[in-house]
A and B are shown apart, each in its own frame.
Chain A
Amino acid sequence: MIFYIARRLLLAIPVLFGISLVAFALVRLVPGDTATVMLGMQYTEARGEQIRAEMGLDQPVPVQYAIWLSRALSGDLGQSGFTGQPVTRALRERLPVTLQLASSAVLFALVMALPLGMMAAVNRGRWPDHLAMTVGVAGLSVPNFWLGILLILLFARTLGWAPSGGFIHLFEDPVGNLRTMILPAFALGLAVAAVLIRTMRASMLDVLGQEYLRMARAKGCGPLRLYGVHAFRNALVPVLTVLGIQVGYLLGGSVVIESVFGLPGIGLLALEAIRNRDYVLLQGVIVFVGTAFLLINLTVDLLYAWVNPQIRYG
């Protein structure tokens, strides 16, 4: 098991390296730079050069990359050119919001998808199946930002049940926090739920055809035990894998959803960084998100091993 993790981590290194390279290169293709945006209308060559020199942007790009990479390896992603705030601190400030948003979305997706997918498989070809499959396709087809807008219109503007934007910290006002999170989590989670419903249904159908399930019935298991215990955990294995893949969607989707709901998370941070041509911050965000994606996938694989004992020992 430890070898397995170690191997996975080793394999992640070139990918991480690649991400940093892409982030670095891409960000430097963006027209305009931090100095130009900071100075705006008051930009002059001299002052621009001065600021670039302060930020080390006057060095050749490979040198910049080398310096940045060596610092990044020691956990220092540099300082935002725009606010002077360390990137790691900006990330740390914003992370809880995105984390809460993404995990609420996943929670919502699981709560919705697992029973629906299971019901669909058990009642294959009948109305619960059709319902679940319709949700499964429709959920994938609704643009999440549109859904967000509609939710705001309905629940925030018309009914007044939830605020239409902004963020309240969990510890400052748990109820308020929940109220600010529920709509974005739904808007973001629906597509994940759709994918999971389909996966759950397919894997459940697969499991339902397995001999051990007939065996369990022959043992005298009732439906609850049959589906809830014997089938469920087996069916979960592909669902977990797919969930891992969905993390990428969640991280990307949170950019849009955070923008729609005005949630100050990593996604909004990325948009701000683009807006301000904040090189250091933007590459920090991309590298961070890429790393998070890899780590989450690793976690999912470990979870996978936990659900599926064969891998655990293999």
Chain B
Amino acid sequence: MTRRSPREFEPEKSRPPALLSVDGLRVSLRSRTRMLPAVQEVSFSMQRGEILALVGESGCGKSLTAQALLGLVGKNSLGQVEGSIRFKDRELTDLSEREMRAIRGREIAWVSQDPMTSLNPVYPVGAQIAEVPWLHQLCRTRNQARGVAERWMDRVGIPDPALRARDYPFAFSGGMRQRLVISMGLSGEPDLIIADEPTTALDVTIQAQILDLLHDLRAQTGCAILLITHDLGVVAQWCDAAMVMYAGRIVEKAPVGELLANPTHPYTQNLLASVPTPGHRRPLQPIPGQAPALEDIPSRGCPFRERCALARAACEVHMPDLVGSAVHRVACWDREVKA
């Protein structure tokens, strides 16, 4: 908990208009027989320069939320997106695919989960990075684009970029590749970067380097970062605020300090309890059971109740709303008890 954002956290209402505000986002996936709701009732907003974490176990709908923001689901028969995504005063759900394309990479960039597979193996990396400014007409010539690419490679810490731009992805180590992916995201000079578990595939020391890099770049360019992770340590160290997601729903949302100090939702509490804390010797408590598969998510009631020690009759019937203070909201019938 050493690093904090330069700006202290402020209540939402007093801040300038949000960069991104998501309201009632619902993503359904088509199965053979019906539409399965994979993401439900997701609402949040982000400011410029903010690093927001989206936390949860794998399969809870984090990545799907991110892809919905990029308009990568719903434009085909596989899924359907409902709700509102406002980005810089534009309603993204109303945009055509062509308009969305102009936004992707240019205004909202994506840094993907697995650097090992995110780079196209058959093209030199420089060309892949240069593709972004070239596609979005940030440069007039291919040479300029190449220059931009090399500059970004340099900025993300790749030595000798002019030479290495001509290399193919397999010639880079995992950490280097993630840097390349990040530089690919940044080369369009976006306002929002969605980083989908950017460090899971890397080992711990590299992890820290990459997150430091993201952090620094945020400071330099002022872009916002939506960091998707399952790692609370990462959240604690690098993020401003965090949302905890379970079975497609946001169950708790708070500034990072508040969340860590005062976890309210039983799932959040369990999550924290299952992570070792340096300096504190206590037994780790794994969460009993496992997150439900998409088709097993109960159609009503709280999806966590099966694994929750505090489950009660109400949990069987209704999903609690996300309520609470302006900064700390939680969706649990037990919150009154806690409070």
- 1/0 contact trace for B123-163 toward A, CB 8 Å? 10000000110011000000000000000000000000000
Q: List, in ascending order, chain B residues with CB within 8 A of A217's CB.
A: 70, 72, 104
- CB-based nearest B residue for A221: B135
| Cross-chain contact of A219 among B98, B123, B131, B171 (Cβ < 8 A) | B131
In the bound complex, do residue A211 and residue B122 qualify as a contact, i.e. CB atoms below 8 Å apart?
A: no
In the bound complex, do residue B120 and residue A220 qualify as a contact, i.e. CB atoms below 8 Å apart?
A: no
Is the CB of A215 closer than 8 A to any CB of chain B? Answer: yes
- Bound CA span A41–B112, Å: 81
In the bound complex, do residue A218 and residue B109 qualify as a contact, i.e. CB atoms below 8 Å apart?
A: yes
With A214-B112, A215-B110, A310-B170 given, is the CB distance from A220 to B132 under 8 Å?
A: yes
With A211-B113, A234-B122 given, is the CB distance from A222 to B72 under 8 Å?
A: no
With A217-B72, A220-B106, A310-B170 given, is the CB distance from A212 to B117 under 8 Å?
A: yes
Is the CB of A313 closer than 8 A to any CB of chain B? Answer: yes
Q: List, in ascending order, chain B residues with CB within 8 A of A216's CB.
A: 120, 131
In the complex, the number of residue pairs spanning A and B with C-beta atoms less than 8 Å apart equals 78
Instruction: Determine how close the nearest CB of chain B comes to the CB of A211; give it in whole angstroms.
Output: 4
In the bound complex, do residue A310 and residue B168 qualify as a contact, i.e. CB atoms below 8 Å apart?
A: yes
With A211-B112, A310-B168, A313-B171 given, is the CB distance from A219 to B184 under 8 Å?
A: yes
With A234-B122, A309-B168 given, is the CB distance from A215 to B106 under 8 Å?
A: no
Instruction: Determine how close the nearest CB of chain A comes to the CB of B59; give it in whole angstroms.
Output: 17
Q: List, in ascending order, chain A residues with CB within 8 A of B170's CB.
A: 309-310, 313
Count of chain A residues with a beta carbon within 8 Å of a chain B beta carbon: 22
In the bound complex, do residue B112 and residue A220 qualify as a contact, i.e. CB atoms below 8 Å apart?
A: no
Instruction: Determine how close the nearest CB of chain A comes to the CB of B27; give it in whole angstroms.
Output: 16
- Bound CA span A230–B117, Å: 13
Is the CB of B210 closer than 8 A to any CB of chain A? Answer: no
Instruction: Determine how close the nearest CB of chain A comes to the CB of B64; give it in whole angstroms.
Output: 12
| Cross-chain contact of A308 among B72, B104, B122, B188 (Cβ < 8 A) | B122
- CB-based nearest A residue for B132: A219
Instruction: Determine how close the nearest CB of chain B comes to the CB of A273; give it in whole angstroms.
Output: 44
In the bound complex, do residue A218 and residue B121 qualify as a contact, i.e. CB atoms below 8 Å apart?
A: no
Is the CB of B103 closer than 8 A to any CB of chain A? Answer: yes
Q: List, in ascending order, chain B residues with CB within 8 A of A220's CB.
A: 101-106, 132, 135-136, 188
In the bound complex, do residue A218 and residue B122 qualify as a contact, i.e. CB atoms below 8 Å apart?
A: no
Count class of interface residues, chain B:
20 to 34
With A219-B184, A221-B135, A234-B120 given, is the CB distance from A214 to B72 under 8 Å?
A: yes
With A220-B132, A220-B136, A310-B168 given, is the CB distance from A212 to B101 under 8 Å?
A: no
Say whether chain A's binding surface is mostly helix, strand, loop, or mixed. helix
Identify the interface centre among A210, A212, A219, A310: most chain B CB within 10 Å of its CB.
Answer: A219
In the bound complex, do residue B121 and residue A309 qualify as a contact, i.e. CB atoms below 8 Å apart?
A: yes
Q: List, in ascending order, chain A residues with CB within 8 A of B102's CB.
A: 220
- Bound CA span A163–B181, Å: 58
Is the CB of A275 closer than 8 A to any CB of chain B? Answer: no
| Cross-chain contact of B72 among A212, A218, A307 (Cβ < 8 A) | A218
Is the CB of B114 closer than 8 A to any CB of chain A? Answer: yes
In the bound complex, do residue A211 and residue B135 qualify as a contact, i.e. CB atoms below 8 Å apart?
A: no
Is the CB of B250 closer than 8 A to any CB of chain A? Answer: no
In the bound complex, do residue A211 and residue B117 qualify as a contact, i.e. CB atoms below 8 Å apart?
A: yes
| Cross-chain contact of A218 among B98, B112, B114, B123 (Cβ < 8 A) | B112
Q: List, in ascending order, chain A residues with CB within 8 A of B117's CB.
A: 210-212
In the bound complex, do residue B120 and residue A219 qualify as a contact, i.e. CB atoms below 8 Å apart?
A: no
In the bound complex, do residue B121 and residue A222 qualify as a contact, i.e. CB atoms below 8 Å apart?
A: no
Is the CB of A233 closer than 8 A to any CB of chain B? Answer: yes
- Bound CA span A309–B124, Å: 9
With A214-B72, A220-B101, A221-B135 given, is the CB distance from A230 to B120 under 8 Å?
A: yes
- 1/0 contact trace for B14-32 toward A, CB 8 Å? 0000000000000000000
Instruction: Determine how close the nearest CB of chain A comes to the CB of B184; give it in whole angstroms.
Output: 7
Identify the interface centre among B112, B114, B118, B132: most chain A CB within 10 Å of its CB.
Answer: B118
- Bound CA span A122–B120, Å: 18
Q: List, in ascending order, chain B residues with CB within 8 A of A225's CB.
A: 135
Is the CB of B332 closer than 8 A to any CB of chain A? Answer: no
Instruction: Determine how close the nearest CB of chain B comes to the CB of A311; give it in whole angstroms.
Output: 10
| Cross-chain contact of A310 among B98, B121, B135, B184 (Cβ < 8 A) | B121
- Bound CA span A234–B117, Å: 13
- Bound CA span A233–B184, Å: 20
- CB-based nearest A residue for B113: A211
- CB-based nearest B residue for A211: B117
Q: List, in ascending order, chain A residues with CB within 8 A of B106's CB.
A: 220
Instruction: Determine how close the nearest CB of chain B comes to the CB of A146; give it in whole angstroms.
Output: 40
- Bound CA span A4–B190, Å: 44
Q: List, in ascending order, chain A residues with CB within 8 A of B113's CB.
A: 211
Chain A 211-248 interface residues, beta-carbon cutoff 8 Å to B? 211-212, 214-222, 225, 230, 233-234, 237
Q: List, in ascending order, chain A residues with CB within 8 A of B123's CB.
A: 233
With A218-B109, A220-B135 given, is the CB distance from A211 to B118 under 8 Å?
A: yes
Q: List, in ascending order, chain B residues with CB within 8 A of A221's CB.
A: 101, 131, 135
- Bound CA span A205–B209, Å: 35
Chain A 160-216 interface residues, beta-carbon cutoff 8 Å to B? 210-212, 214-216
With A220-B104, A220-B136, A222-B101 given, is the CB distance from A212 to B171 under 8 Å?
A: no
- Supplied contacts A225-B135, A233-B123, 15 more A-B pairs, CB within 8 Å: A210-B117, A212-B119, A212-B120, A215-B118, A217-B72, A218-B109, A219-B109, A219-B110, A220-B104, A220-B105, A234-B120, A234-B122, A307-B122, A310-B170, A313-B170
11 pairs across A/B with beta carbons < 8 Å? A214-B72, A217-B70, A219-B105, A219-B132, A219-B135, A220-B101, A220-B102, A221-B131, A225-B135, A233-B122, A237-B122
Where the two chains meet, the residues of A that have a C-beta atom closer than 8 Å to any C-beta of B are 210-212, 214-222, 225, 230, 233-234, 237, 307-310, 313
Where the two chains meet, the residues of B that have a C-beta atom closer than 8 Å to any C-beta of A are 67, 70, 72, 98, 101-106, 109-110, 112-114, 117-123, 131-132, 135-136, 168, 170-171, 181, 184, 188
